[in-house]
Amino acid sequence: MTPPTERHPSRGTEDPRIRRSWLAFAGAFFLLGLIAVFRLWVDPRLSNWAIALLIVVVGFAAVRHRIAVQDLEAGRRAEAESFARILQGLSRSISPDAIVEAIVEELGIGTGADHIVIVRRRPDARVLEATLVNARTGGSTSSTLFPIADLEDPPDLDVGRWGREPVAIPIDIEGDVGLALSGARPRLGGDAVTVTAGAPRRSGRRMPANAPAADFAATIAGTRSSRLRDLDPDRLVANRIATRARAVFGLRHTLVTPLTTDGGMIGALLISRRTAGAWPAAAHRLLVGAAIEASAALSRVYSHRQAEARASTDGLTGLPNRRYFDEFCALLSRRRRAEDSVGVLMIDIDKFKVLNDTYGHPVGDEVLRAVAAAIVGAVREDDVPARYGGEEFAVLLRNPTIEVAVEVGERVRAAVAGLDLARFGVRAVRVSVGAAVAEDPDEPITATIEQADRALYDAKRRGRDRVVAA
């Protein structure tokens, strides 16, 4: 937490040149006041009284102006320092949760918001995660999920529908979105809707007050559609997300801006307060700036995670690769408890080189994908399958007995044997499986892998298409 003395800068940091100019002005004004008093004392005419009164009024206005300038400078300085702290927090953030934490605290202080909501796409699922932070209760949070359609569906340009038969009332359309008739119902919160008296205009033409109702409705609808097409689609989507956030969290007076990256929109940033009235310009600037920097930070974190996932995933089969498998085994070794047992299956496709030479590498790749899918479907939920290299696969078994390891190996062998590969011209594929279990927590998993590998070669020597336990 930043100390309060650092959050609210004092007025003592005024530029020395401004201070010197003000002192010169105040000194000259003081002398002018003395001259006016002297003139009144010598000659108390009405004109001298008027001059003295005018000097008092000008002096009062000058003091008020100085106070206003100081308040404006202090506000801008506080805004810049809040934004700098947001940037500093984001630069250190290595996770989406840390990014949220870096944003919300300063947004609440800098904008005077009671609540901050950040809605972002989950990189691991097709949902939106909405996090509400209460800025008035020490940053307490609550999270919920929004449907991905709020983000991915195209913006609805028809934001209002005729609620009844339109009547020829002279109405002027202003602002970004015009809903001219009293029966129109905005569905995006009405923030961009302004209706004033006058006559409808479209492309510089004026609609007569006695025009037919159908022509009037068509004119209004055409104007609305053309102006909506000029709106930023991301902002329309952000308004849609804000509408749901207001309904779900019970928020009232809100301000929202989209979160966008080079790959498109990923969510929205929303602030809310209990009191009505227009948000100050500083709140708009701080919200937009925070959204830009948060979008960049989230994009950086997501890209880093995707790069890590690509580095740990076999591109052909989609299974974890050997690097991930070895790292997972090392992590599991450090966290094993005394009662935990670990098993390993080593699986090799029989005569895969012959299959590749006969049918070609593209068919061989399809066979590898099919075998990988069969292995995933045959192992247990807690087991970890991986492509170990070439046509060889490995499965890490959690807490098995040797009988369970052999049973899982038999399921894998049967699942591969049951694959229908006729569309590739391949009649059947078989695998050999070696199984090993380490019940002693002090036994390295690497030793268990070596035992399973020796059992695999034993299965090959015995005629292939079988499971052999170490």
Q: pTM of the predicted model, to two decimals?
A: 0.45
CB 270 within 8 A of CB 117: yes
Structure tokens at 362: 């593209």
16: which 2 tokens? Answer: 């020395």
What distance in Å separates the CA atoms of residue 225 and residue 90, rounded to the nearest whole number?
A: 39
Secondary structure class of 224 (helix, strand, coil)? helix
Q: What is the pLDDT along the chain (470 residues), one digit of tens a residue?
A: 344 444 444 444 566 777 777 778 778 878 887 887 877 787 778 877 888 788 888 888 877 877 777 676 666 666 565 655 555 555 555 555 666 666 666 677 778 888 889 898 887 678 898 988 887 766 677 889 999 999 988 876 554 333 333 333 333 333 333 333 333 333 333 333 222 333 333 334 444 444 444 444 444 444 444 444 446 788 899 999 999 999 999 998 899 999 888 778 988 999 998 888 888 887 888 888 888 877 877 777 766 666 666 778 888 998 999 988 988 888 887 766 666 789 999 999 999 999 999 999 999 999 999 999 999 999 988 899 999 989 999 999 988 999 999 999 999 999 999 999 999 999 899 999 999 998 777 788 899 999 999 999 999 999 999 999 98
Q: Which residue has the tokens 């569309």?
A: 423
Identify any residues that bridge with 258 across adjacent strands, giving them in sequence order.
Answer: 268
Residue 163's pLDDT is 35
| Catalytic-labelled residue, pool 327, 391, 407, 450 | 391
Q: Looking at residue 85, what is its pLDDT?
A: 56
Query: How far is C-alpha 253 from the chain's CA centre?
Result: 22
Task: Kindly state the helix (H) or strand (E) to which residue 351 belongs, with its residue range.
Answer: none
Q: Return the axis-axis angle of helices 96-111 and 46-91, rounded to nearest 10°.
A: 170
Map residue 72 onto helix, strand or coil: helix
Of 263, 248, 250, the closest CA to residue 296 belongs to: 263
Q: How many CA within 13 A on the CB side of residue 437?
A: 18
Query: What is the reported pLDDT for 88?
Result: 54
* Residue 414: C-alpha distances to residues 20, 70, 350, 377 (Å): 91, 80, 14, 11
391 is catalytic: yes
417 vs 216: CA distance, rounded Å: 72
- Cα angle 401, 404, 409 (rounded to 5 degrees) comes to 130
Site of tokens 């940037």 = 87
Which pLDDT belongs to residue 334?
74
Give the ranges where 196-232 is alpha helix by DSSP (H).
213-229
